[in-house]
Structure 1
Amino acid sequence: MLKLVVFLSFTLCSLAPVLAQAPFYQGKHILLIVGSGAGGTGDLRARALAAGLTRNIPGNPPIVFQYMAGAGGRRAANHLFNNVKPDGLTLLRVSSSVVPYAVLGESGVQYDIDKLNYLGATEHQLYYMFVTRKGMGINNLEKLRSTPGIRIGSAPVGHTGYLHSRAVAYMLDMKEPKIVPGYESADLDVAFARNEVDARVASTVTVSQQELLTKNLADFHLAIEVPRGHKDPRYAHLRLPDITSFVKSERERKLLTMMEGFRVVGTILMAPPGTPKDRLDILKEAVRKTNSDPQFAADYKRLTGGDDPTPLDPDEQARIVRNIPRDPEIIELFKKFAGTAPLPPR
């Protein structure tokens, strides 16, 4: 009996350090790479997310930001895939554009979307509006179609914003539109305000922050609903037609369906390949808790000018990426819109 007591005492003492082990993230910090510039819409959403993750990751690690804009997110994705130690201490939040870049075989892609670890999105239901500067006097679709040489400011070539701009010009049969790519979000805000571009695809955050509607600074022409059927009640009175209402063929419908698939994955939070499963599980659970955290919802709404988060679960996000069409024929059609060549005839 004495031997049994001694054995149990020894066993319990041996287990004590394990039972008392501190959470992995305690006393550490997480580096969050943001694949865009500071101050834009993506940065504001990332700040709300970061505060929620710090609250919900055991050990409450502070999150430090590093901005890595360039090549529509490819620069940051390449860095995460090839250079970052997979220890769960460095994450990336990047535009969904990194997915079509890879699927379409665009240059500069040095990552494999099927090997990255997906940790969800703060938004995947989105509502964009195509707007023109108020001073141009283009207040209806007829004028929009008949005015030649409208300068449409957009994100870099291949980026989701660039694809949206090209698709709008195409579906509306605009006359000799001039797509002006290369802008980060905040830079495009400035260019539009300074009359350096005439038109743009604007998110609800942009419309709110730049007061395009409240100060009557823009005319609104159509919406891009992501996913199709999602409408923002704040702009219901504008009665904007969705871009899909302008399709003329099954070919064009497939084009917009693929575009929607690329965007509905949301702005992606990801970890590099090789990150230990136990740490991925911690991060995924923290994301799920953050998604249901009232403080996160309040912070997100405050920082984005009134938008509500529309979270996407990590596992569902990974499933969407896996199921994106990789059919060569559809890809070849899509490439005509992702590149710089003239738009194909309708």
Structure 2
Amino acid sequence: MRRFITVACVTSLTILAAAGASAQQAVETFYHGRTLSIVVGHEVGTGYDLYARTVARYLGKHVPGQPTVITQNMVGAAGLASAIWLANVAPRDGSVIATFAHTASVDPLLGASGGKFDPSKFNWIGNLDEVTGTCSFSPEAGIKKIEDLYTKEVLVGAAGAGVGGPLSQSARGVRNLLGMKLKLVQGYKGSADVRLAILRGEVNGVCGIPLSTLKTEWRDDFTSGRIKPLLQLGLNKNPELKDVPHVYDFAKTPEDRQVLDLIFGAQANGRPYAAPPGTPPERVAALRRGFAETIKDPQFVAEAEKLQLDLKPTAGEDVQKLIDRFYAYPPAIVERAKAAVRQD
């Protein structure tokens, strides 16, 4: 009997190993000679675009079959257009992944997406960085510390229109939850256009701009003091901004912190990548492994350092856990957050 059980166990393991090898071969066959697209939900020249193009140069060699990886920009609604497309239109065969603003993961809660997609249904591939957003201002704003906004109104720029997008949501959150005098000017194509608007004097600041963007695309203005962060936004304090107050410093109750979570905490998933709902699990697993290997690739890491791209990556499973946490918050918390970012 013992020998029979042993033989049966060995046979089962052999069958499982063969099935695994067969699945691996099927994935490799699918990607061989194929193009894998990374759809960027923001304009060329933004941080999302720069990160994605850097990933694209290395991801293919870490995915079975070594597909050719290209980037495509799908600009609209501050990244929401690409998220809605990913949920409803994109091919579900593993040939497409997308990256967009972290706000897309909570926009359905906050009422920006019109219920057109469910982020919990995405197959999250991974995240490149825990973004630290900032409220940053030019000298023309006439403020030296964030508390000056309690008495002085400042114009801040944002991409798109309506509720969506990190710049508009961040500005409204700071204004409506902290009581600071920010006047929002929307309609810019993206953060690159907001930067030009600051240089032209159309607006004097921006809320929600990542520190990583200040250090890369906005480097000259940041290092010269032409743009200066006065408030940091995000789930955790960033030691690089140790003298800059954190938005959570203004929370008075645990409930206040949960409301801030829904508006600013999602920045922990600051550079996320996702595949559409319904993508075959074995291809999702291959993309996750490829992504994890890419961010450890010495050549990728060296290029990211050269470009001054901040990297604080998390696995796709961890991205999912944080999103699930936010979606479990009580309705009263969600309603407070929704009211705080509601369009004027």
Q: TM-score range by the shorter chain?
A: 0.7 to 0.9
Counterpart of 1:317 (choices 316, 319, 335) is 319
TM-score by length of 1: 0.82
Please show how residues 168-187 of structure 1 align to structure 2 within 5 Å.
168-170=174-176, 172-175=178-181, 177-183=182-188, 184-187=190-193
Which amino acid is 1:312 matched to?
A: T
Which amino acid is 1:27 matched to?
A: G
- Report the CA distance between 1:162 and its aligned residue: 1.9
Contact 1:78–1:109 (8 Å) recurs in 2:
no
Please show how residues 117-266 of structure 1 align to structure 2 within 5 Å.
117-123=123-129, 125-141=130-146, 143-148=148-153, 150-156=154-160, 157-170=163-176, 172-175=178-181, 177-183=182-188, 184-201=190-207, 202-208=209-215, 209-210=217-218, 211-224=220-233, 226-232=234-240, 235-236=241-242, 239-266=243-270
User: Aligned partners of 1:55, 1:215: CA distance in 2, in Å?
Assistant: 39
Please show how residues 46-125 of structure 1 align to structure 2 within 5 Å.
46-123=52-129, 125=130
Cα pair distance change 1:170/1:51, threshold 3 Å = same
Cα pair distance change 1:253/1:81, threshold 3 Å = closer
User: Aligned partners of 1:136, 1:20: CA distance in 2, in Å?
Assistant: 59
- Report the CA distance between 1:180 and its aligned residue: 1.5
Q: CA RMSD in A?
A: 2.3
- Corresponding position of 2:10: none
- Report the CA distance between 1:248 and its aligned residue: 4.0
Which amino acid is 1:212 matched to?
A: D
Which amino acid is 1:139 matched to?
A: K
Cα pair distance change 1:105/1:130, threshold 3 Å = closer
User: Aligned partners of 1:322, 1:146: CA distance in 2, in Å?
Assistant: 38
Cα pair distance change 1:128/1:75, threshold 3 Å = closer
Q: What are the ranges of 5 or more consecutive residues in structure 2 without an aligned counterpart?
A: 1-21
- Corresponding position of 2:15: none
- Corresponding position of 1:7: none
User: Aligned partners of 1:167, 1:142: CA distance in 2, in Å?
Assistant: 15
- Corresponding position of 1:8: none
Q: Deviations over 1:208-240 (max 9, x none)?
A: 23223322213432222x3323322xx44xx11
User: Aligned partners of 1:38, 1:284: CA distance in 2, in Å?
Assistant: 25
- SS of residue in 2 equivalent to 1:264: helix
- Report the CA distance between 1:24 and its aligned residue: 2.7
Cα pair distance change 1:174/1:78, threshold 3 Å = closer
Contact 1:127–1:231 (8 Å) recurs in 2:
no
Q: Deviations over 1:317-339 (max 9, x none)?
A: 12222222342111110111221
Which amino acid is 2:145 matched to?
A: N
Q: What are the ranges of 5 or more consecutive residues in structure 1 without an aligned counterpart?
A: 1-17, 342-346
Which is richer in helix? 2
- Corresponding position of 2:334: 331
- Report the CA distance between 1:316 and its aligned residue: 1.3
Contact 2:134–2:231 (8 Å) recurs in 1:
yes
Aligned length: 314
User: Aligned partners of 1:216, 1:230: CA distance in 2, in Å?
Assistant: 19
- Report the CA distance between 1:246 and its aligned residue: 2.4
Which amino acid is 2:151 matched to?
A: S
Contact 2:126–2:291 (8 Å) recurs in 1:
yes
- Report the CA distance between 1:43 and its aligned residue: 0.2
- Corresponding position of 1:284: 288
Identity %: 28
Contact 1:49–1:122 (8 Å) recurs in 2:
no
Which amino acid is 2:317 matched to?
A: D
Cα pair distance change 1:286/1:323, threshold 3 Å = same
Cα pair distance change 1:60/1:246, threshold 3 Å = same
Q: Segments of 4+ in structure 1 off by > 6 A?
A: 18-21
Which one has the largest radius of gyration? 1
Which amino acid is 2:139 matched to?
A: K
TM-score by length of 2: 0.83
